[in-house]
Amino acid sequence: MTQPSVAAIEASLGEYCPPFLSESLAQAKALKAVTLDQESISVRIQLGYPVTSVAAQIESDIRARLNALAPGYRVQLDLSSKIVAHKAQASMKSMAGIKNIVAVASGKGGVGKSTTTVNLALALAAEGARVGILDADIYGPSQGLMLGIEPGVRPEVIQDAMLPIKAHGLQAMSMSFLVEDNQAMVWRGPMASGALQQLLTQTQWDELDYLFVDMPPGTGDIQLTLSQKVPVTGALIVTTPQDIALLDARKGIEMFNKVDIPVLGIVENMSLHICSQCGHQEPIFGEGGGEKIAAQYDTELLGQLPLTLAIRQQADSGKPTVVAAPESAEAKLYRDIALTLAARLSVRGKNYANAFPEIVVQHD
């Protein structure tokens, strides 16, 4: 056997782009170690996003490259994920127990934002990440229903901190866990904003890799509170192809741009209506809206989701699509969007704000 050099192996593997990642292993600094002896090659790769469902494909791709470069050598591959805290707006420190906070917003109600949020969160949890959901819609919380949490279930309180309620592998907190089902929150904006801060800061989150914040519609007090008081790693915009939805989605993007929160991508929901009887597909809300707005704001269309009866029925039953039908085409779409989102987030700069002590100047 002709022995290859470590440099040649590193060069070949460094060019490889794993699924969903927009960078190569070298660019992402994910190729951690290569060792070589007369009979074997050992490679250690550590990616910044969960890769449970694509680990086999990555391993197959890596082995194929090594076999072409060094046929006959035994390959030992150590593939792992390490999710770290990425920088937030205004150099804010990460919150205790939460590495990354992702705001899911729409600017307009009725576009399926909450359904998209819960399915993306469940998809990343299925990949092995530690994931939570904060239902930030104080006036109309819906995540409790979608997660199948029985009415009347209340969070446990320990030393003035609430423990998140667990469902389908997620940690969840919502105003719906604290009030009666039919109770209307007749509050002015500052009270709702204060409630959001309490839900976030007085919940004892257990070492989350990602916390998805299901935002209410609009660009009002709650959105401003989140952008000014909470270290948000990035935002995801959910829209439909309809012009009126795109109009409000643009306002949401503009808001995040003004407060220096990066928009990680666009999800176009209800792109096609699929008839449950015959399978006929029809773009009843229009076409190309998500692509248009992504191009306008130099971001990415992460995926397009269909309007199907099953998605609505599964969410209403408390078992969203990713849990109820994990092998379905719709669940795969959610997984692909979730992994693309996590991969895009993984290449952003790390949050080093927590590493520096606060400096206090005192005058005698």
Nearby residues of 342 by Cβ (< 8 Å), 6 or more positions away = 20, 49, 50, 83, 124, 127, 129, 210
pLDDT of residue 358: 55
Q: Kindly state the percentage of the chain with pLDDT values over 70.
A: 96
Distance, CA of 306 to CA of 109 (rounded, Å): 17
pLDDT of residue 247: 87
Residue 360 has pLDDT above 60, yes or no: no
pLDDT of residue 152: 85
The mean per-residue pLDDT over the stretch 87-92 comes to 90
Residue 186 has pLDDT above 80, yes or no: no
pLDDT of residue 162: 95
Q: Three-class SS string for 37-69?
A: CCCEEEEEEEECCCCHHHHHHHHHHHHHHHHHH
Rounded alpha-carbon distances, angstroms, from residue 25 to 54, 128, 190, 272, 280: 15, 21, 46, 35, 41
At 255 the three-state DSSP class reads helix
Q: How confident is the model at residue 104 (pLDDT cuts 50, 70, 90)?
A: very high
Higher pLDDT, 128 or 246: 128
pLDDT of residue 149: 93
What is the tens place of the pLDDT at every residue in 73-84?
Answer: 999 999 999 999
Residue 1 has pLDDT above 80, yes or no: no
Q: How confident is the model at residue 15 (pLDDT cuts 50, 70, 90)?
A: very high
The mean per-residue pLDDT over the stretch 331-348 comes to 96
pLDDT of residue 127: 96
pLDDT of residue 284: 84
Distance, CA of 221 to CA of 229 (rounded, Å): 12
Position of tokens 């096609």? 272
The mean per-residue pLDDT over the stretch 173-178 comes to 88
Cα-to-chain-centroid distance, residue 330: 17
Q: How confident is the model at residue 176 (pLDDT cuts 50, 70, 90)?
A: confident
At 314, list the tokens: 């599964």
Going along 65-163, which residue ranges are E strands? 74-81, 98-105, 131-135, 157-158, 161-162
Distance, CA of 113 to CA of 224 (rounded, Å): 19
Distance, CA of 246 to CA of 257 (rounded, Å): 16
pLDDT of residue 364: 55
Q: How confident is the model at residue 363 (pLDDT cuts 50, 70, 90)?
A: low
pLDDT of residue 362: 61
What is the tens place of the pLDDT at every residue in 109-145?
Answer: 888 999 999 999 999 999 999 999 999 888 778 899 9
What is the tens place of the pLDDT at every residue in 254-300?
Answer: 999 999 999 999 999 999 887 778 878 888 888 888 899 999 999 99
Residue 179 has pLDDT above 70, yes or no: yes
Q: Kindly state the percentage of the chain with pLDDT values over 90.
A: 64
pLDDT of residue 276: 76
pLDDT of residue 248: 87
What is the tens place of the pLDDT at every residue in 18-71?
Answer: 999 999 999 999 999 999 988 899 999 999 999 999 999 999 999 999 999 989
The mean per-residue pLDDT over the stretch 141-159 comes to 91
Residue-averaged pLDDT of the chain: 90
